[in-house]
């Protein structure tokens, strides 16, 4: 219950009184804890064995953390400018970038991702890029499996 309250309060911007209401629905199978953990607070998550996030939850958490790690370097801390995007691509998508010879690649990616044309990439736009790359990787993966006849 304590864990649930910690998880809910800051993310929803609610006071402790409202937070208590949510935790009253806590079930023994820790389903409520799962929900609360989706608030992705920095470093406040309980790490007991029964409270470990799933791999998919960790993947989502990682995407959020990585985005914010780079977006907070300059200017708007919730958006990637071109420099921040370039750094993220270079450090986090090393393989992807290394096989791309186009010197204008970052500009092109920026233009493609920047759906609202504010010269910044927000989290929504970033997720679209990661999703597109993930789909491409999966297509390749499936193709390889088919070739092997599996």
Measured from the CB atom, the residue of 23 and 71 that comes closer to Ca ion is 71
**Residue 9 binds to Ca ion (criterion: CB under 5 A):** no
Contact in structure between 94 and 88 (CB atoms under 8 Å): no
Helix (H) or strand (E) holding 78: none
Query: Binding to Ca ion (CB under 5 A): which residues in 45-74?
Result: 71, 74
Q: Of residues 61, 75, 87, 128, which one binds Ca ion by CB under 5 A?
A: 75
Q: Least Å distance between CB 124 and Ca ion?
A: 15
CA 86 vs CA 80, 91, 110, 125: distances in Å: 9, 9, 9, 15
* Shortest distance (Å) from residue 45 CB to Ca ion: 25
Give the C-alpha separation, 19 to 60, whole Å: 24
Q: Which residues of 49-58 are buried (b: 16+ CB within 10 A; e: fewer)?
A: eeeebeeeee
What is the smallest separation between the CB atom of 35 and Ca ion, expressed in angstroms?
30
Q: Is 23 in the site for Ca ion (CB under 5 A)?
A: no
Q: How far is the CB of 80 from Ca ion (least distance, A)?
A: 6
Q: Which two tokens stand for residue 39?
A: 């608030």
Contact residues toward Ca ion (CB under 5 A) are 71, 74-76
């Amino acid at each position: 219950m304590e864990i649930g309250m910690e998880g809910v309060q800051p993310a929803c911007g609610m006071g402790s009184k409202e937070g208590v209401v949510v935790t009253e629905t806590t079930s023994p199978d820790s389903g409520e804890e799962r929900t609360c953990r989706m608030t992705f607070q920095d470093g406040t998550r309980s790490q007991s064995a029964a409270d470990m996030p799933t791999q998919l939850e960790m993947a989502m958490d990682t995407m959020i953390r990585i985005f914010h790690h780079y977006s907070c370097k300059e200017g708007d801390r919730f958006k990637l400018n071109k420099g921040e995007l370039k750094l993220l691509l270079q450090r986090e998508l090393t393989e992807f970038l290394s096989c791309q010879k186009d010197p204008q690649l970052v500009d092109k990616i920026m233009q493609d991702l920047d759906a609202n044309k504010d010269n910044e990439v927000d989290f929504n736009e970033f997720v679209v890029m990661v999703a597109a790359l993930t789909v491409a990787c999966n297509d390749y993966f499936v193709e390889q499996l088919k070739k092997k006849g599996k």
